[in-house]
Amino acid sequence: MARKATTTGLSEAQLFDLRWARGRRDLIGPLTRLYGASHDTEVLLARLRDLLDSHWQARPADLRASDLARDIDPDWFLSEQMVAYVFYIDKFAGTLADIPARIPYLRDLGVTYAHLMPCLMPRPGASDGGYAVMDYRAINPALGTMDDFAATTAALRGAGISTCIDMVLNHTAKEHDWAMRARAGDPFYQQFYLMFDDDTLPRRYEATLPEVFPDQAPGSFTHYPDIGKWVWTTFNEYQWDLNWANPEVFLAIVDTILHLANKGVDIFRLDAVAFMWKKMGTDCQNLPQVHDIIQALVQATRVAAPGIIHKAEAIVGPHQLVPYLGKGAHAGKVAKLAYHNSLMVQFWSSLAARDTRLMTHVLRSHFPEGFDHACFATYIRCHDDIGWAITPEDAAHVPPMTGPGHRTFLADFYNGSFPGSFARGADFQTNAETGDRRTNGSFASLAGLEQALAEDDAAATDLAIARILMGHALIASFGGIPLIYMGDEIGLLNDHSYLADPARADDGRWMHRPAMDWKAVKSLAKGKSPAARLHAGTRAILAARKATPQLAGHVPTRIVDFGNPALFIFERRAEDRTLTCLFNFTETNQRVTPWGLKLDPARHYADLLTGAPLGLTDGLITLPPYGCLWLRPD
């Protein structure tokens, strides 16, 4: 029998008022702290409310329906069903209009969240991979139109896939309309940026500022003789930092986010958030005001588009990272997702060292077991380089390791120069002052597949495949949403073709941004190629994740210090059962006793990755080279 139609009796306007009342409570504090000294908070709130109301009124009906569903189930993104896939539209599909044809591939892999890498209108020529946006309200014409974009998000939504896009908050391209007006002398827009008449203040700031791109874009300021100004440019010269101390910037960005939310975006990746607030005498990263800005953005945009969530991109040390998922007064009120940069670094560190002690120490002592209505985005590779964020204090826990020594080892190991290394990566942005080097390279090339194939070494190929699958199993189980970077499910290798493109040649990160190999995908079913083995393995890992409620994002992750440096182990307990996940970071068999893992002798265990009952040899559990087990009692 059809259910009787019901109505809440609330008008859409009343719904908005309720959401505004909820949001307002968490907006007053941040807005007063950020702007209260120079602006009347009530006046600002009134302007904000009008802005939100106009976007709410323009919000399409299907998105309002999803708003309601997510308001009722605000932890929707914590589900173990969530699996993310990150891709460049041109390299994965061609254009936006070509994405729907690739949906079956995504669904087959288990994807429920698609991160479309930068697709808003970039400046012409070099654009930092699209992170220098010239117009936030237009799509890169090489990829399609805004109508194509809305149609694509709708097609993805129809297939149960949420859309994530990049929202670059720290800077705009110098060709953005705001910057052009500032450059032309408009005082209102000059306040949108950080402009100085001479270099006195820039020099004083620079005394404590680290450089992001010391090779390709040294310094953090650029002098423009034509306008007689110094402009704050943390990244490249053509990326002008926004002045977040100006509430007009806050309002303009809220306006932009909601405009895009109404085109069907579900998740906004807030790019380079750590840099948004500047203070003399500091490194101008992760300042407390950054968390106020994020809380204000999240709470404001949630009023007019409650279905959206935000992911903070802050590639920072553990102590600075935790607050991005909400700490103290911000708990539960800031971004729902943040990249787990430490997990990524520690994966590579343990793999090179064949030693998990640093990993166990860092992940156990610097992170809580879970967060309030928030979780990590777990990943092994992304489009950026790897920065070896190993502190001297952490290194000291594993004597005789030192911070600089281990960082040098990792850079050497992954550029392939360390004797016996299996990796084929490359150095990136050597910092002359500190000697630090970052690393580029695709997952497969860093994990040994490129070298093994070049040497036609079947045993080394097996090991490389096992390393890659171990990485996928780690991010699928550690806690949070796993992000599969396009091509890592089939082991795409480094691609050096970027060197022929003058707009890209000076940025080595392009080596790990290859095009999707659809030819390899076509022949997956046929055989035993590395791509086929990796694809089948990744697919099985993701399917196992989805069948395991212990892997939902709200379930705490308890890291076990087991005392065997070859192994990384954690437990996730939910629904009265503990899931124990084990990873062998060496190329030798490792044996563990069931009692050492505190397995219940009275119960039968299975490995959820294979579905097979746990087998013992001489009473011991065996993990093969780079093997993983997800053990759970029945």
CB proximity list for 551: less than 8 A, separation 6 or greater: 80, 476, 477, 479, 545, 572, 579
Contact indicator for 621, 580 with CB cutoff of 8 Å: no
157: part of which helix (H) or strand (E)? helix 146-158
CA–CA gap between residue 219 and residue 241 (Å, rounded):
13
Please choose, out of 43-51, 74-82, 128-136, 393-401, the segment that lies near ligand GLC by the rule CB under 6 A: 128-136
Q: How far apart are CA 385 and CA 211, in angstroms?
A: 15
Beta carbon nearer to ligand GLC, 131 or 570: 131
Cα separation of 148 and 142, whole Å? 12
179: contact with ligand GLC by CB under 6 A: no
Q: Which is nearer to ligand GLC, 168 or 423 (CB)?
A: 168
Q: Which is nearer to ligand GLC, 131 or 277 (CB)?
A: 131
- 23 or 129, CB closer to ligand GLC? 129
**Beta carbon of residue 466, minimum distance to ligand GLC (angstroms, whole number):** 29
Q: Which stretch binds ligand GLC (CB under 6 A): 83-91, 127-135, 497-505, 557-565?
A: 127-135
Q: Is 271 in the site for ligand GLC (CB under 6 A)?
A: yes
Among 20, 56, 87, 131, which residue sits at the site for ligand GLC (rule: CB under 6 A)? 131
Helix (H) or strand (E) holding 362: helix 357-365
Q: What's the closest the beta carbon of residue 236 comes to ligand GLC, in angstroms?
A: 8
- Per DSSP, the residues of 98-120 read GSGGGHHHHHHHT--EEEE-S-E
Query: Which of 45, 63, 93, 168 lies at the binding interface for ligand GLC (CB under 6 A)?
Result: 168
Asked if 272 is part of the footprint of ligand GLC (rule: CB under 6 A), the reply reads yes
The distance of closest approach from Cβ of residue 278 to ligand GLC in the complex, given in angstroms and rounded to an integer, is: 16
Among 29, 110, 129, 264, binds ligand GLC (CB under 6 A): 129
**Residues sharing a CB contact under 8 Å with residue 379, sequence separation 6 or more, in sequence order:** 339, 340, 343, 344, 475, 482, 483, 485
- The Cα 510–Cα 441 span in angstroms is 9
- Determine the residue with CB nearest ligand GLC: 131
Query: How many alpha carbons lie under 13 Å from residue 87 in its C-beta half-sphere?
Result: 26
Considering CB under 6 A, how many residues would be counted as binding ligand GLC? 10
Residues ≥6 apart with Cβ < 8 Å to 123: 132, 133, 134, 173, 174, 175, 238
Instruction: For residue 564, give the 3-state DSSP assignment.
Output: coil
Residues involved in catalysis: 271, 313
In one-letter notation, the amino acid at residue 547 is A
**Cα separation of 319 and 92, whole Å?**
35
Closer residue to ligand GLC (CB): 290 or 559: 290
Dihedral sign for Cα atoms in the order 315, 321, 323, 325: positive
Site for ligand GLC in 372-431 (CB under 6 A): 383-384
Q: Which residue has the tokens 């970052």?
A: 438
C-alpha span between 322 and 371 (Å, rounded):
9
- Taking the complex as a whole, the smallest distance from the CB of residue 131 to ligand GLC amounts, in Å, to 3
Nearer to ligand GLC (CB atom), residue 130 or residue 323: 130
Encoded tokens for 500: 């022929």
Note whether 628 and 584 are within 8 A (CB).
Answer: yes
Residue among 67, 128, 175, 571 that touches ligand GLC (CB under 6 A) = 128
How many whole angstroms separate alpha carbon 418 and alpha carbon 494?
Answer: 19
Considering the complex, what minimum distance in angstroms separates the CB of residue 562 from ligand GLC? 34
Q: For residue 185, how many C-alpha atoms fall within 13 Å in the half-sphere facing its CB?
A: 3
Q: CB of 617: closest distance to ligand GLC in angstroms?
A: 45
Output the smallest distance, CB 165 to ligand GLC, in A: 13
Q: Which stretch binds ligand GLC (CB under 6 A): 124-132, 191-199, 260-268, 512-520?
A: 124-132
| Footprint (CB under 6 A) of ligand GLC, residues 306-345 | 313
Task: Indicate the residue among 77 and 235 with the shorter CB distance to ligand GLC.
Answer: 235
Nearer to ligand GLC, 193 or 583 (CB): 193
Q: Least CB distance from residue 238 to ligand GLC, whole Å?
A: 11
Residue for token pair 């009473």: 619
For the chain, the first-to-last Cα distance in angstroms comes to: 38
Binding mask 213-242 for ligand GLC (x = CB under 6 A): ----------------------x-------
Q: What is the DSSP letter of 340?
A: -
Residue with Cβ nearer ligand GLC (168 or 374): 168
Q: Closer CB to ligand GLC, residue 27 or residue 475?
A: 475
Only one of the segments 123-131, 360-368, 423-431, 460-468 lies at the binding site for ligand GLC (rule: CB under 6 A); that segment is: 123-131
CA 326 to chain centre: 16
CB of 321 to ligand GLC, least distance (A): 14
We find the least distance from the C-beta atom of residue 234 to ligand GLC, in angstroms, to be 8
Cβ atoms of 313 and 339 within 8 Å: the answer is yes
Map residue 400 onto helix, strand or coil: coil
Binding site for ligand GLC (CB under 6 A): 128-129, 131, 168, 235, 271-272, 313, 383-384
